[in-house]
C-alpha cells in the first residue's frame, strides 16, 4: 500500500516488462500530475498512463502534460444510468 503521488511508492514497485498500463483515478488533478511525474522519474517512461478528469478543460490539460489517455468522469454516465433503469424495469430483456 502507498500513496501514488509519493515518489517512494513508485520506487518500491518491482520493474516488470509486463506492466503496460497505469490508470490513475484520484480525486485531485494535481495528485494525478504528481503521480505522472513520479512514474516518469522512476523509469516508467514506456508505460501508457490513463487518468480521469472531472472537467473538460482538465481533459485537455492532462493530455498536454503527457497523459496518454484522459476521460471525463461523467462521459457515458447518462447512457449507463438509462441502461440500468431499463434493466430494472424489464429484467431479462435486451437493452
Distance CA 66, CA 14 (A): 23
- For 7-89, CATH gives 3.40.50.720
Residue 92 is placed in which grid cell? Answer: 431479462
Domain edges within the chain: 7-89
Position 14 confidence tier, pLDDT thresholds 50, 70, 90:
low
Considering the chain, what percentage of its residues have pLDDT values greater than 70? Answer: 85
- The CA-atom distances, in angstroms, between 28 and each of 9, 81, 91, 95 are 18, 25, 38, 35
Distance CA 67, CA 76 (A): 20
Question: Please, are residues 22 and 48 in contact by the beta-carbon 8 Å criterion?
Answer: yes
Q: In this predicted structure, what is the pLDDT of residue 1?
A: 54
43: left (phi over 0), alpha (psi -120 to 50) or beta: left
Side by side, the strands of the sheet bearing 48-53 are 21-24, 48-53, 69-72
Mean predicted confidence (pLDDT) in 24-28: 87
pLDDT, one tens digit per residue, over 46-82 is 889 999 999 999 999 999 999 999 999 888 888 888 8
Amino acid at each position: 500500500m502507498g500513496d501514488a503521488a509519493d515518489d517512494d511508492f513508485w520506487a518500491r514497485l518491482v520493474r516488470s516488462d509486463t506492466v503496460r498500463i497505469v490508470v490513475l483515478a484520484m480525486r485531485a488533478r494535481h495528485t494525478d500530475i504528481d503521480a505522472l511525474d513520479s512514474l516518469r522519474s522512476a523509469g516508467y517512461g514506456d508505460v501508457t498512463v490513463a487518468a480521469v478528469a472531472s472537467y473538460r478543460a482538465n481533459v485537455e490539460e492532462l493530455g498536454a502534460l503527457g497523459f496518454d489517455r484522459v476521460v471525463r468522469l461523467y462521459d457515458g454516465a447518462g447512457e449507463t444510468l438509462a441502461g440500468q433503469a431499463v434493466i430494472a424495469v424489464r429484467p431479462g430483456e435486451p437493452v
